Amino acid sequence: MAKRSNKAFDYAVYLALRLVETLIHTLPLETSYGLARRLGDALHRFDRRHRDRAADHIRQSFPEWEEARVQDVCRGAMRNMIYLGLEALLTRRRITKVRWRKYFHVSAAAEALRMATERKGPLIFLTGHLGNFEVTGHTMALLGYPGVALARRLDNPYLDRHLIDFREAAGQKIVDKRGAMEAVPKVLADGGIVSIIADQDAGPKGVFVDFFGRPASTYKSFGLMAIRYDAPIIVGFGHRIGERYEFELICQKIIRPEEWAHQADPLHWITREYTRALENAVRLSPEQYFWVYRRWKSQPREKGRG
């Protein structure tokens, strides 16, 4: 009985989302963003747990800021969470092969796109929970760079299928993180592009590198894949321009194999370099970062302990 009830609830949530999606497509963009902005402000006001966590992360990352600025960025980050969902619902109809230039600008990533076009081997595109990574992945695939992206599957099977249909509509392939170590090596071995969101806590066994001056556990697999397949790493993100449906692809850093070839510890060096690039990207648009994530959850063991 409980299982059937869960399925019914999941389907009801899915239907509610489709209803909201239909409604959004009937509204002017300005109205949709106005509603999303109010919802984000309400989230900042009433979701105390996530607001306090985000504000604490911002304070520790920018200790020189006054409290008023911390709260402004925190409020913007809560709005950003709502904008991300809104824009995902809007993207499939708005960013097309005919109209994409109206909403998405790529001049700040010209070198990265040239590398992707002229590449003779594999390429790794790393980003963080910054700006709108859903719009970026869709647009990159639409422009002829259909990579394989790693993603966590949703517990709700109806929402999960709907989200995957959106993500794969332009040509990119979504791979469950749990099966990534089987699928990703084949893509890189065949000279393909792999897209990864690389700013999640990797637990006590990750590589610890500084992120905003504090040790952050980071996955080893990204650097190991780059080393094994001699794959350049492009660190970039899709920056939202203002609080409207307009974006710019920014290439923050390109890390090439010849740079880590002679490092004493290539894995640690690569991880440190792309994490530093992600930090610099966040500094450009701190209100567009997911400060609610527990990025510093895992910490290194104290020296002298087993």
Per-residue pLDDT of 104-120, as tens digits, reads 999 999 999 999 989 88
pLDDT band for position 36 (cuts 50, 70, 90): very high
How far CA 141 is from CA of 30, 125, 148, 171, 295, in Å, comes to: 27, 12, 10, 5, 28
Residue 247 lies in a domain: yes
**Could you tell me the pTM of the whole model?**
0.91
Domain hosting residue 129, numbered range: 2-288
Residue 306 lies in a domain: no
pLDDT for res 169: 85
Residue 294 lies in a domain: no
Residue 62 lies in a domain: yes
Residue 130 lies in a domain: yes
- Cα angle: 207, vertex 211, 214; to 5 degrees: 90
Count of domains forming the chain: 1
Per-residue pLDDT of 60-106, as tens digits, reads 999 999 999 999 999 999 999 999 999 999 999 999 999 999 999 99
Residue 206 lies in a domain: yes
Between CA 162 and CA 50 the distance in angstroms is: 26
- The region of weakest confidence among 57-61, 168-172, 205-209, 225-229 is 168-172
Residue 45 lies in a domain: yes
Cβ within 8 Å of residue 270, ≥6 positions away: 222, 223, 226, 227, 233, 255, 260
Residue 16 lies in a domain: yes
Q: Which residue has the higher pLDDT, 175 or 200?
A: 200
What's the one-letter identity of residue 287? E
Q: Secondary structure of the chain: what % helix, strand, coil (to 5)?
A: 55, 15, 30
